[in-house]
């Protein structure tokens, strides 16, 4: 832990401070959220979209794209990630939503939407902090993106309408096109991915890899966390009033979310250990399995059920719970590296 920078080591403190600052801004200027949400990009407020792109670019500029091909040839690894993300994850969130929120169908639907939205953005931040493989994380994120475009609408209808019908309960329908999902993926993953690839390709060719790895990356790397903190401030400034107005509802939404992240991460990490993957691979699989694409879940919840719906509130609460929990899981992952990967730790 001492090898982490001060910014990384005390990230939970900065995140709590960002949450408090955003909440204070929202309370001091009640119309701030509406003003920030006036202009949107792919269903997300433009100021928040800027933050999402900002925090993604430095991480993707670190990726050694020339080594991605070796991960694509590992069918066992890719198959493990697909099963965790598209079978275990949705089923687990569906079960937890029904166990903890049997009497609140709107919040339950919102949690299910979050469970179906597999992470394509912030997971790269957590993976980097936990010393996972950036190259593998990009591969898994790209895989999730493709499956998200193809399967989100199908699985949404299945878990919101079909399965409740089997249980004798009236379900909800989900009307969201693959084009809408593809647009979200293209903007929030595609744009920073292309920018990161071009940055590495051009600067390595002009200045050399030693300069790029030793001087350029250390300068831009910390700005990813600044982008994360900026995004958190705006999220709380825009939605803090709803959270303060319904504290017990927030708690009821938060509990299954915390349980979900903890179980999902633990399952993925233990699977990685049992299958004999090294630590960077195990960490990448675990964080891509545990994280969720909150911008897509929020956009779908608002577009389908309305901005004042319980589904929208649950979708908004989701990332606010995800951020501090996954920060704690970064620390847990680094601790587990010393426990389960002693040889790799001594050689690091």
The domain of 157 spans 6-347
pLDDT band at 55 (very low <50, low <70, confident <90, very high): confident
117 occurs within a structural domain: yes
Cβ atoms of 329 and 337 closer than 8 Å: no
Which of 50-54, 289-293, 302-306 bottoms out in mean pLDDT, i.e. has the lowest?
302-306
% residues pLDDT > 70 (the chain): 82
Residue 182 lies in a domain: yes
Query: How many Å apart are CA 137 and CA 280, to the nearest integer?
Result: 10
Whether the predicted pLDDT of 331 surpasses 60 = yes
pLDDT band, residue 176 (cuts 50/70/90): low
Higher pLDDT, 172 or 134: 134
DSSP state of 67: G
Residue 346 has pLDDT above 60, yes or no: no
Q: In the prediction, which pLDDT does 93 show?
A: 95
72 has pLDDT over 80: no
SS (H, E, C) 233-275: HHHHHHHHHHHHHCHHHHHHHHHHHHHHHHHHHHHHHHHHHHC
Q: Is the pLDDT of residue 35 over 50?
A: yes
pLDDT value for 129 = 84
Any domain includes 231: yes
The three state secondary structure string of 98-120 is HHHCCCCHHHHHHHHHHHHCECC
- Count of domains forming the chain: 1
Mean pLDDT (the chain) is: 81
Q: What is the CATH number of the domain that holds 223?
A: 1.20.1530.20
Write down the pLDDT at residue 230: 86
- pLDDT score, position 347: 44
Q: Give me the pLDDT at residue 281, please.
A: 93
Residue 284 pLDDT > 90, yes or no? yes
Asked if the structure places residue 1 within a domain, the reply is no
Please tell me the predicted confidence (pLDDT) of residue 3.
53
Mean pLDDT of 106-128: 84
Backbone Cα Rg of the chain: 20
pLDDT of residue 345: 46
139, part of any domain? yes
Identify the weakest region by mean pLDDT among 77-86, 170-179, 235-244, 279-288. Answer: 170-179
Residue 241: name the closest of 338, 315, 313 by CA: 313
> How large is the average pLDDT for residues 234-241?
74
Higher local confidence (pLDDT), 60 or 219: 219
Q: Rounded to whole angstroms, what are the CA distances from 244 to 201, 248, 249, 302?
A: 47, 9, 10, 20
Backbone dihedral angles phi then psi of residue 153, each to the nearest 5 degrees:
-65, -40
pLDDT tens-digit map of 298-328: 767 766 676 567 787 788 777 778 878 888 8
The pLDDT of residue 189 is 67
Residue 15 CB burial class (10 angstroms; 0-12, 13-18, ≥19): middle
Give the per-residue pLDDT at 90.
Answer: 93
pLDDT bin (cut points 50, 70, 90) of residue 156 is: confident
What length is written for the chain? 348
């Amino acid at each position: 832990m001492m090898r982490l920078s001060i910014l990384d080591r005390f990230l939970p403190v900065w995140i709590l401070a960002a949450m408090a600052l955003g909440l204070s801004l929202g309370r001091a200027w009640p119309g701030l959220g509406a003003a920030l949400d006036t202009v949107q990009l792919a269903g997300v407020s433009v100021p928040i979209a800027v933050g999402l792109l900002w925090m993604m670019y430095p991480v993707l500029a670190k990726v050694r794209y020339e080594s991605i091909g070796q991960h694509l040839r590992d069918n066992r690894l890719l198959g493990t990630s697909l099963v965790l993300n598209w079978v275990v994850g949705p089923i687990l969130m569906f079960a937890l939503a029904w166990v903890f929120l049997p009497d609140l169908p709107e919040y339950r639907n919102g949690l299910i939407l979050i469970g179906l939205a597999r992470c394509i953005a912030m997971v790269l931040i957590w993976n980097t902090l936990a010393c996972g493989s950036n190259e593998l994380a990009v591969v898994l994120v790209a895989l999730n993106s493709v499956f998200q475009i193809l399967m989100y609408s199908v699985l949404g209808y299945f878990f919101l309408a079909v399965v409740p019908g089997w249980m004798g309960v009236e379900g909800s329908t989900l009307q969201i096109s693959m084009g809408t999902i593809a647009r979200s993926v293209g903007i929030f993953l595609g744009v920073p991915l292309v920018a990161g690839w071009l940055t590495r390709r051009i600067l390595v060719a002009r200045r050399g890899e030693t300069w790029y790895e030793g001087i350029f990356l250390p300068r831009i790397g910390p700005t990813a966390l600044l982008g994360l903190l900026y995004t958190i401030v705006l999220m709380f400034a825009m939605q803090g009033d709803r959270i303060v107005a319904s504290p017990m509802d927030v708690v009821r939404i938060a509990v299954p979310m915390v349980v979900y992240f903890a179980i999902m991460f633990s399952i993925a990490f233990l699977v990685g250990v049992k299958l004999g993957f090294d630590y960077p691979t195990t960490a990448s699989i675990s964080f891509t399995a545990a994280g969720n694409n909150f911008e897509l879940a929020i956009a779908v919840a608002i577009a389908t059920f309305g901005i004042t719906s319980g589904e929208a509130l649950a979708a908004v609460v989701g990332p606010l719970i995800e951020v501090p929990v996954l920060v704690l899981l970064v620390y847990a992952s680094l601790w587990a590296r010393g426990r389960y990967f002693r040889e790799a730790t001594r050689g690091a």
